[in-house]
Structure 1
């Protein structure tokens, strides 16, 4: 159970980008993708605001926010971004992240002290809610991720769907490192600590538990069904999406998942779109809107001291009409890409 609790904390902290880690092997699925499917993904991405890029500056008069889209797991390719941001963080009034060290510690403590946060001891089990074939697929996939069937049967669906997106070898690497992901967020937090730059969280530590609290039973099960196809080839899936991240093709990550679910989830296209819209709304858009006030107030406070702020969060929060960059633009900020 201790391993499952560690995995729970890892999955929750790493909401916004599918997982990968150094030492895992797989194939980039774009390399073998039929041209017509790639064309459909390209078309879906084409008109999304700020669809590409990882590093931006938002300015409003003398107010300045440096924004970096992060990937939450270890990779040697983080090094250039860390080096580039070292002097920026040193000069900043504060670094803003989804969850700082205090929030992560509080989350882990809560999961360890209250298993009901991720385990449903009273309701119907997952084998009762899924078809026999679906349960077998799920049981096998979660076993690969360190969760025996007897535990998986009682896990809450929102947590299961997150775990299915994490490669088993990533979890192994995390276990060997003592629970540290080595992701860009943590690397930048370490830089801030070394430079004695204050670190602020963009949201409360328990935000995740409210994201799915009002889902219907049918929506909960469909979350699992949508996530199951990628679990069978998690290494390939993760390599594909991680390569897209380091190429700056951020929204391509999201649309790849949509088209994969169209083909492999067994759900009608309309239900896949409903699940994707639900996930985007809960995991990204609603949180983005709440972060804007935190960021703009932080920038205003920093300006009084003649400084700016740095904000580092999952890359999928950057693009889109309800993405952080577009929302800042609507607040009168001008946005400039720095890594293009």
Structure 2
């Protein structure tokens, strides 16, 4: 297996990356052709979620300051707008906090090279044995498009398969060519390093391997089934989600995935909802709670230097009752949206 795309997919899982789009990949925004009734359902489902809109926020508490940047983890020229706006603030910050810094990425790559069982199950039943013949036929074809032959794919761990299905084949090729996903996270790190601003990780390098470890076999199999619809129209799906991110409507992305699974996964609505609850708890809620303390500690230390800190992480970690913004609000922080023309609407 090719290490760089696999590493990128792992980082996507660790950072809840949305499926990737790039200038080199052409697709259609599915919201533009969606029946008005279904689009209204998506908006209604997202409407009550706290802080559902906006990518960039400022948090203040006394003399402590945090600049919160919701990121998209793959290359897009629209990232330049955010970097032009926030680059000087990164230069002046006491620290940049991200989900996985350069040291964590290097450690992850080393571990993967040394221990194939992190991704491959050498002992348990194969995926063809766990899925129906039709499901395996569709899944193996989708993974083949992503450079994973069936003989290898058959023993991949289900959580990793679900991650791979969320990255379009076109984007996999772009990553290989570039040698880097090129997302906003990496641009933030590069800017901080150039300004000699310390870069700190919000969680350990092996977080991705612990997120799914207590899932039941049935939950693992349903996770693959719920991820399959996105794989069937990956480039269109990717463009749709990227456009939603840059419109500043992050939670609409989450509801799009839910309703797409309702329509096309073969699971019942209750099964899809259970999968979405499980994914939200493991990929977002638990991690959000663990991040608040180090973010607050960094802000307190920075205030002693008369500075603030910058925290950049996947945009879907911002909204929700257990999102980072609401958790900080509950700790007494005052939150203000920041509008960057062409990137989200704030508020």
Q: Shared topology, TM-score over 0.5? A: yes
Deviation, 1:118, is 0.5
Aligned to 2:343: none
Distance 1:35 1:266 in 2: 23
Aligned to 1:107: 108
Deviation, 1:107, is 0.4
Distance 2:168 2:22 in 1: 8
Aligned to 1:69: 70
Tell me if the contact between 1:72 and 1:183 (Cα under 8 Å) persists in the aligned partners: yes
Residue correspondence of structure 1 range 162-173 to structure 2 within 5 A: 162-173=163-174
TM-score w.r.t. the length of structure 1 is 0.98
Aligned to 2:137: 136
Aligned to 1:292: 292
Aligned to 1:122: 123
Aligned to 1:14: 12
Structure 1 residue matching 2:66: 3-state secondary structure: strand
Deviation, 1:124, is 0.2
Aligned to 1:38: 39
Aligned to 2:60: 59
* Residue 27 of structure 2 corresponds to residue 26 of structure 1: yes
Structure 2 residue matching 1:76: 3-state secondary structure: coil
Aligned to 1:242: 242
Distance 2:41 2:229 in 1: 19
Distance 1:25 1:177 in 2: 17
Structure 2 residue matching 1:311: 3-state secondary structure: strand
Deviation, 1:229, is 1.1
Deviation, 1:9, is 1.1
Distance 1:63 1:47 in 2: 29
Structure 2 residue matching 1:14: 3-state secondary structure: helix
Residue correspondence of structure 1 range 82-231 to structure 2 within 5 A: 82-178=83-179, 180-231=180-231
Structure 2 residue matching 1:96: 3-state secondary structure: strand
Tell me if the contact between 1:8 and 1:159 (Cα under 8 Å) persists in the aligned partners: no
Displaced runs of 4 or more, over 4 A: none
Distance 2:27 2:21 in 1: 10
Distance 2:6 2:285 in 1: 23
Deviation, 1:63, is 0.6
Distance 1:21 1:13 in 2: 17
TM-score w.r.t. the length of structure 2 is 0.96
Distance 1:238 1:308 in 2: 34
Deviation, 1:332, is 0.3
Cα root mean square deviation, aligned: 0.7
Distance 1:331 1:22 in 2: 40
Distance 1:170 1:296 in 2: 35
Aligned to 1:269: 269
| Per-residue deviation, residues 219-246 of structure 1 (Å, max 9, x unmatched) | 0000000001110100000000000000
Structure 1, unmatched stretches of 5+, are none
Distance 2:57 2:229 in 1: 34
Aligned to 1:48: 49
